[in-house]
């Protein structure tokens, strides 16, 4: 037996904070060594942090990464353990995203990334070049300062693997796992037994299953050990990296880390018998045949042994049941952990949320409540870093620290109900009850006097005073009156966030939280610079459908029972006067349901549908209940309002990324914001298709009736004439 103990890590790195990142790397190595591991894998670009973006174009970022690597190598951190470190490296004129393999204070080889992530949230081709010379390793001259410090002039650079005395190990970097021709297939045929994947993969609802299945598939049919490491936490952007470091052996997950955690360092260890890899491969005839004529991959000889012999005192890691969170849990824990990282790293001392008592703002409040629960739980589990951050943010004195989530929320969370004459007592009451359940410092404010002052000023300037539509006003007047309320709430929210800590003798400032969901952003059903314009928004790319399911879950599992009533209430902005014969409802205002919006959003982004292909898809999807003309009207209506409101996405509050159909235009959904909202060419094509379908419907109807009439002895001519009076009767 060849027993190999491996350690893979999830690290909460912070882009461009080299001290923080180096310390967390050292802590992970110390934990790996303490566990007896002889291999340690860290996340992609762990030294500078994955989310540096255009900072990668700065030579300082590359130089500081080398300095941190030198510090790691001059100490005893790599003594007796193979370590993989992620950092940018420049060779010649090109900049590469690399894994640097180190052992016993020396660099063994540098492996550049072959396939760069360059879609969705990723722009790696903006900063790096993909390594294309897969047939050879080149000699890389180390920077002079590093060379002198290590006594090592050059190292092998390129695509290859390391041949130790007792096993062969190679790297596969993040995106390469998901390509159509992944390196792990070729490496396995070359005898590589251990693949180390350093990743920077963000959280997205329902995404983990896809990732884990890719890891399992990498070794299921060809054998091998697959180590997966990932960033974890908010490193300074809209993304939350969801960790879940794991080890897979021959298609079985034998070790899995947490997906959502407040820990800065999490090390997952597995003890493996490498002979099971040889045994499986030897039993696969097809593998043997393919290996006999494989393309040879370059290698580096390393005169060192990593494995231990057979020992009954060593327990092997066994297959385990994979842990998946439900989407409701993902909504609670992902944004909750992201908010904690943002709060502790921003210098703020808490959050302020305009709480309307509706589903969206209540979801945000529940997520903050969940964050407080996670903090208290982690402190109880002995996490000293979380404890220190909570003491600082909550302004605790005399050795006190959070032991109750409601008490902690009272220190770091303000909620404000900003009511007007259009607000109902029911929503006001719901906001108050939920705030009490969570423990926030809750305020109840009327904005009517400010609205009235604005209207009086406008009347003084123009001699006119706008009216709501229900009182005889025009659409322009009605919309303006709603916008006034929304924008006043934004101004008031930011003023309160700045001054309330001062009023209560607390240090710092509060971050304003937004609460618009992904469907409203897609449709543009939000006022530009309204109370959803905030510092950050934890639900900005979560659908209304998912949020409602989350509210039902949170009512029970987070202990906030009032959320059940909030979820059951019909969504309304409460910006217009309520009358006995009129009640403002979101879906009526939008002219479409939230369920329809989710369908439009997925077709537009995930399936890359323009108006015409969306119409064609929806004819299949909705054809049983809608005519082509009705489908066409719905598609045109959606694209009209999507187009005229697209400009709102340019100022959308930075939002936690959770949905693959997010319309957020800063990183994820890059499209223009000035459209011809009439879409003349596309809508004309839709009209032509509708006409063709209508004609075909008439012919099919006539043909079907002719066949039916003939079977009853009636002439086709007569039935066709009779049927032509209502050609859509069968639709």
Q: What is the pLDDT of residues 435-464, one digit of tens each?
A: 999 999 999 999 999 999 999 999 999 999
- 596 and 564 in one domain? no
Residue at which a domain ends, from 262, 296, 324: 324
- 301 and 336 in one domain? no
Distance, CA of 23 to CA of 717 (rounded, Å):
87
What is residue 515's three-state secondary structure? coil
- 634 and 521 in one domain? no
Beta carbons of 99 and 111 less than 8 angstroms apart: yes
User: Pick the catalytic residue: 38, 65, 237, 356?
Assistant: 356
Domain membership flag for residue 11: yes
Mean pLDDT across the stretch 167-185? 95
- 518 and 412 in one domain? yes
Percent of the chain with pLDDT over 70: 95
Q: Looking at the 3D structure of the chain, how many domains does it have? A: 3
pLDDT reported for residue 4: 96
Domain membership flag for residue 731: no
Q: What is the CATH number of the domain that holds 297?
A: 3.60.110.10
pLDDT reported for residue 548: 94
Q: pLDDT tens-digit profile of 609-662?
A: 999 999 999 999 999 999 999 999 999 999 999 999 999 888 889 999 988 878
Domain membership flag for residue 533: yes
Domain membership flag for residue 306: yes
User: Pick the catalytic residue: 174, 307, 337, 531?
Assistant: 174
Alpha-carbon dihedral of residues 700, 703, 708, 709, nearest 10 degrees?
Answer: 140
174 is catalytic: yes
- 409 and 286 in one domain? no
596 is catalytic: no
- 217 and 78 in one domain? yes
Residue at which a domain ends, from 324, 359, 394: 324
User: Pick the catalytic residue: 5, 33, 113, 648?
Assistant: 113
Domain membership flag for residue 355: yes
Q: Which residues pair with 415 in a beta bridge?
A: 353, 442
Predicted confidence (pLDDT) at residue 199 exceeds the cutoff of 80: yes
- 279 and 376 in one domain? no
H helices of 420-543, in order, are 425-438, 448-462, 475-503, 518-523
372 is catalytic: no
Q: pLDDT tens-digit profile of 152-164?
A: 999 999 999 999 9
* Phi, psi dihedrals of residue 136, rounded to the nearest 5°: -155, 155
Mapping DSSP onto H, E and C, the string for 62-130 reads: HHHHHHHHHHHHHCCCCCCCEEEEEEEEEECCEEEEEEEEEECCEEEEEEECCCCCCCCCCCHHHHCCC
User: Pick the catalytic residue: 5, 28, 33, 44?
Assistant: 44
- pTM over the 0.75 mark: yes
617: how many CB neighbours lie within 10 A of its CB?
Answer: 16
| Look-up of token digits 């697959």 | 226
Q: At what angle do helices 18-34 and 59-74 cross, to 10 degrees?
A: 30
> Where in the sequence is the domain holding 377, given as residue range(s)?
330-584
- 571 and 597 in one domain? no
pLDDT reported for residue 711: 42
Residue 718 pLDDT grade (very low, low, confident, very high; cuts 50, 70, 90): very low
- 358 and 274 in one domain? no
- 337 and 374 in one domain? yes
pLDDT reported for residue 573: 77
Domain membership flag for residue 370: yes
Which class for 565: exposed (0-12), middle (13-18), buried (19 or more C-beta within 10 A)?
Answer: middle
CA-nearest of 305, 262, 272, 396 to 81 is: 305
Mean pLDDT of the chain: 91
pLDDT reported for residue 622: 95
pLDDT reported for residue 579: 72
Distance, CA of 262 to CA of 181 (rounded, Å):
36
- 240 and 271 in one domain? yes
Domain membership flag for residue 719: no
Residue at which a domain ends, from 324, 359, 378: 324
Residue 581 pLDDT grade (very low, low, confident, very high; cuts 50, 70, 90): low
Q: pLDDT tens-digit profile of 510-563?
A: 999 999 988 888 888 888 888 779 999 999 999 999 999 999 999 999 999 999
266 is catalytic: no
Q: What is the CATH number of the domain that holds 546?
A: 3.40.50.620
> For residue 157, what are its two tokens?
């650079």
User: Cα separations (Å) of 656 from 512, 539, 661?
Assistant: 14, 6, 13
Distance, CA of 672 to CA of 688 (rounded, Å):
27
Predicted confidence (pLDDT) at residue 730 exceeds the cutoff of 50: no
Q: Which residues pair with 253 in a beta bridge?
A: 248
pLDDT reported for residue 634: 96
Domain membership flag for residue 413: yes
- 242 and 100 in one domain? yes
């Amino acid at each position: 037996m060849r027993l190999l103990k491996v350690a893979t890590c999830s690290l909460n790195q912070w882009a461009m904070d080299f001290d923080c990142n180096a310390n967390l790397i050292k802590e992970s190595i110390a934990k790996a060594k303490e566990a007896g591991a002889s291999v340690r894998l860290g996340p992609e670009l762990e030294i500078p942090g994955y989310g540096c973006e255009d900072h990668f174009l700065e030579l300082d970022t590359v130089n500081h990464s080398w300095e941190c690597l030198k510090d790691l190598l001059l100490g005893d951190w790599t003594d007796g353990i193979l370590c993989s470190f992620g950092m940018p490296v420049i060779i010649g004129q090109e900049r590469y995203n690399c894994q640097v393999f180190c052992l016993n204070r020396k660099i063994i080889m540098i492996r550049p990334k072959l396939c760069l992530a360059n879609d969705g949230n990723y722009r790696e081709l903006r900063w790096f070049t993909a390594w294309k010379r897969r047939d050879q390793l080149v000699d890389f001259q180390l920077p002079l300062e590093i060379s002198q410090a290590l006594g090592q002039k050059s190292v092998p650079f390129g695509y290859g693997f390391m041949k130790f005395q007792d096993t062969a190990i190679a790297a596969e970097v993040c995106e390469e796992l998901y390509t159509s021709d992944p390196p792990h297939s070729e490496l396995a045929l070359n005898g590589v037994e251990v693949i180390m994947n350093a990743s920077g993969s963000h959280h997205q609802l329902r995404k983990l299953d896809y990732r884990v299945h890719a890891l399992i598939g990498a070794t299921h049919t060809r054998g091998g050990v697959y180590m997966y490491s990932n960033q974890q936490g908010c490193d300074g952007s809209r993304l939350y990296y969801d960790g879940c470091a794991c080890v897979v052996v021959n298609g079985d997950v034998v070790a899995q880390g947490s997906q959502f955690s407040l820990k800065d360092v999490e090390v997952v260890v597995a003890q493996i018998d490498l002979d099971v890899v040889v045994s499986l491969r030897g039993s696969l005839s097809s593998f043997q045949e393919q290996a006999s004529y494989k393309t040879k991959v370059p290698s580096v000889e390393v005169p060192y042994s990593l494995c231990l012999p057979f020992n009954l005192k060593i327990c092997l890691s066994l297959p385990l049941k994979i842990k998946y969170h439900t989407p409701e849990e993902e909504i609670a824990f992902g944004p909750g952990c992201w908010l904690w990282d943002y709060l502790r790293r921003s210098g703020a001392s808490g959050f302020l949320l305009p709480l309307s008592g509706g589903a969206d703002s209540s979801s945000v409040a529940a997520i903050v409540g969940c964050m407080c629960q996670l903090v208290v739980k982690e402190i109880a589990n002995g996490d000293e870093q979380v404890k220190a951050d909570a003491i600082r943010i909550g302004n605790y004195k005399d050795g006190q620290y959070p032991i109750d989530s409601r008490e902690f929320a009272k220190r770091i969370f303000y909620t404000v109900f900003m009511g007007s004459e259009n607000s109902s007592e029911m929503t006001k009451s719901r906001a108050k009850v939920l705030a009490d359940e969570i423990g926030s410092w809750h305020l109840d404010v009327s904005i009517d006097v400010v609205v009235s002052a604005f209207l009086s000023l406008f009347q003084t300037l123009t001699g006119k005073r706008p009216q709501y539509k229900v009182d005889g006003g025009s659409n322009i007047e009605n919309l303006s009156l709603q916008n006034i309320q929304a924008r006043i709430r934004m101004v008031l929210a930011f003023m309160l966030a700045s001054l309330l800590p001062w009023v209560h003798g607390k240090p710092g400032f509060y971050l304003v939280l937004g609460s618009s969901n992904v469907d409203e952003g897609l449709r543009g059903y939000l006022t530009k610079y309204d109370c959803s314009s905030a510092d950050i928004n934890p639900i900005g790319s979560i659908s209304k459908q998912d949020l409602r399911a989350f509210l039902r879950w949170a009512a029970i599992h987070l202990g906030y029972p009032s959320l059940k009533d909030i979820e059951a209430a019909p969504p309304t902005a409460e910006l217009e006067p309520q009358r006995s014969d009129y009640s403002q409802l979101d879906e009526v205002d939008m002219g479409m349901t939230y369920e329809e919006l989710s369908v439009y959003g997925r077709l537009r982004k995930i399936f890359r549908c323009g108006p015409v292909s969306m119409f064609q898809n929806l004819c299949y999807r909705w054809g049983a209940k809608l005519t082509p003309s009705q489908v066409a009207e719905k598609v045109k209506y959606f694209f009209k309002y999507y187009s005229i409101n697209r400009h709102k996405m340019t100022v959308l509050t930075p939002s936690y990324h959770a949905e693959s159909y997010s319309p957020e235009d800063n990183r994820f959904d890059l499209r223009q914001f000035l459209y011809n909202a009439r879409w003349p060419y596309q809508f004309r094509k839709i009209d032509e298709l509708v006409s063709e379908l209508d004609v075909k419907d008439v012919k099919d109807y006539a043909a079907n009736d002719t066949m039916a009439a003939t079977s009853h002895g009636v002439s086709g001519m007569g039935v066709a004439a009779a049927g032509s009076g209502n050609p859509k009767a069968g639709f």
